[in-house]
Amino acid sequence: MVFPLTHPASGVQVWKVIIPPRSGEPVLRTHDGYDWLYILSGRMRLILAEHDITMKPGEVAEFETRLPHWFGPAD
């Protein structure tokens, strides 16, 4: 579930994302842009190129989205 928190024309776009449980293998993607992630609750798995990171509340990640990446629930 994705909830926009800014107006699309504002330049920088902010969303609150609720990630449900998933099954299957992660599919890494690339696109133009830059992502900044802040974990509010739960645990999130971030695969960023060859790095596989489990993040917890209060942790932050930022990266250029031309790097292959995927994020989803850690559990």
Two structure tokens written together for 31:
């696109």
Please write the tens of the pLDDT for every residue from 6-16. Answer: 887 777 888 89
Taken in order 5, 32, 55, 1, the sign of the CA dihedral is: positive
* CA distance linking residue 66 with residue 32, whole number of Å: 6
pTM of the model: 0.83
CA neighbor of 70 nearest in space, from 44, 40, 43: 44
Please write the tens of the pLDDT for every residue from 6-54. Answer: 887 777 888 898 888 877 889 999 999 999 999 999 999 999 999 999 9
Whether the CB-CB separation of 70 and 44 falls below 8 Å is answered with no
